[in-house]
Structure 1
Amino acid sequence: MLSISVKHDLPGLAAQLKATGRQVEVAAQRALLKTARLVQEAEVKEMGRAFDRPTRWTLNSFRVVLDKSAWSARVQVKDGYWHRADNYLGTQIEGGGRKDKAFEIALRRRGVLPVGWHAVPGQKAVLDAYGNMSVGQIKQILSWFDSAEPHAGSTQNMGQKGRDKKRKGTRSKRGFEYFAASPAHRLTRRVRSSQNLQPGIYKRTFFSFVGPRGGRLSSIEPILIFVRSTAYKPRFDFYGVGRRAVEQNFSREFAAAFNREASQ
């Protein structure tokens, strides 16, 4: 688990100051807690600098834990945030390959996303205010490929009837479909041979037109693009920021807390 500890040789100091041992202990706990909170603030500030529009969820992913018995305090990922926050932050801190996201695992199990590849938003993906792909569109894609129910806790798989209905559309809504272009087959049967699609998931929207014979035209938009797994360089200096915050703040916070205790 990602964490940084604030520690000091306080037990030894308390042994030397038996007459004021209780004051040292109380002052130490207050200084440890205050310093750990300053570490947390420094980490959040660094995330704002290192990341592009980090979400509130990401900025709120750390918590402070005080361990009185060990004379230490930790700044660590919150319980419940581990599988998502640490997954993302671990790569940003340590570098290396990005771990699979939940929707990527679901698509891979369905055979849509090949092993060794990741999915990133395409040019026509619906993005939220933070530049992340819309959760609603991800759910729609999982539903289309019948990969939502067994792998994402959802019961919204479309099935063949649902897909046929979406393709048909209504008077007020155009029909559409999703299809995957596999890296192993750059040309798909759903498009003309002159269109060499990059591996990924595409959305085809149908347009009806009125004429002697009637008919339908369509447009194709890239929603998810498949890219080979790559190694990332560290971007978030979690440990360096934490160490500097401890060095800059602990001695001052301990002296202030001890003086308050001694004056009472």
Structure 2
Amino acid sequence: MKVDVSIDTSAFDSASTELQRQLPYAGSVALNNVAFRIRGEERSAMGRVFMNPVRLTLNSVLIGKATKRSGRAKVYIRDHATKGTAPSKYLAPAVFGTDRNVKRFERALFYAGLLPPGMYVVPGEGAKLNKHGNITAGT
């Protein structure tokens, strides 16, 4: 008795080729989805940690999207601002748990002997604040 068995693998070969072609795209889509999710979590954490954060702070988490060729997504904090201080500068103490940098006028008060070392200046009771709790530009 003779038994001949043959398997037609052409369908498997074509499916395998198609999978290899689509794998980089699927990977980039997955990486981008994770990056956008991380950005959303970071924004909600900022809302919990900071009291009334300004829009520049909330929108400071940026994404470098992954492509089929790069295979890398990047989530980072904006390091430039058209006006004012860059978010990466004022968010670094909150992220890394360090003391904030001494401001120029605080340094001047320290050298004048009006501010003890290790102390910071905060708005007093009579200071006019905006809706985010910052001193108004007019003040």
Distance 1:97 1:60 in 2: 23
Please give the residue correspondences for 1:86-105 in structure 2 after superposition, counting only pairs within 5 Å.
Answer: 86-100=88-102, 104-105=103-104
Q: What residue number does 1:46 align with?
A: 45
Tell me how large the CA RMSD over aligned residues is. 2.5
User: Which aligned runs of 4 or more in structure 1 are off by greater than 3 angstroms?
Assistant: 67-70
Which protein, 1 or 2, shows the higher relative CO under an 8 Å CA cutoff with sep ≥ 6? 1
Distance 2:43 2:106 in 1: 34
Q: TM-score normalised to the size of structure 1?
A: 0.39
Please give the residue correspondences for 1:110-189 in structure 2 after superposition, counting only pairs within 5 Å.
Answer: 111=108, 113-114=109-110, 116=117, 117-137=119-139
Deviations 1:187-229 (A, max 9, x none): xxxxxxxxxxxxxxxxxxxxxxxxxxxxxxxxxxxxxxxxxxx
Q: What residue number does 1:60 align with?
A: 59
- Whether the 8 Å CA contact 2:54–2:132 is kept in 1: the answer is yes
Distance 1:51 1:122 in 2: 19
Distance 1:76 1:18 in 2: 36
Per the TM alignment, residue 18 of structure 1 is displaced from its structure 2 partner at its CA by 6.5
- SS in structure 1 at match of 2:120: strand
Per the TM alignment, residue 97 of structure 1 is displaced from its structure 2 partner at its CA by 0.9
Long gaps (5+) in structure 1: 1-16, 138-264
Distance 1:18 1:121 in 2: 65
Per the TM alignment, residue 121 of structure 1 is displaced from its structure 2 partner at its CA by 0.7
Distance 2:90 2:20 in 1: 43
Read off the aligned partner of 1:65 and give its amino acid letter. Answer: G
Long gaps (5+) in structure 2: 1-14, 112-116
Deviations 1:11-64 (A, max 9, x none): xxxxxx972222011111111112211111111111111221111121111111
Distance 2:138 2:101 in 1: 22
Structure 1 range deviating more: 64-73 or 48-57: 64-73
Please give the residue correspondences for 1:228-239 in structure 2 after superposition, counting only pairs within 5 Å.
Answer: none
Per the TM alignment, residue 91 of structure 1 is displaced from its structure 2 partner at its CA by 1.0
Q: Percent identity?
A: 30
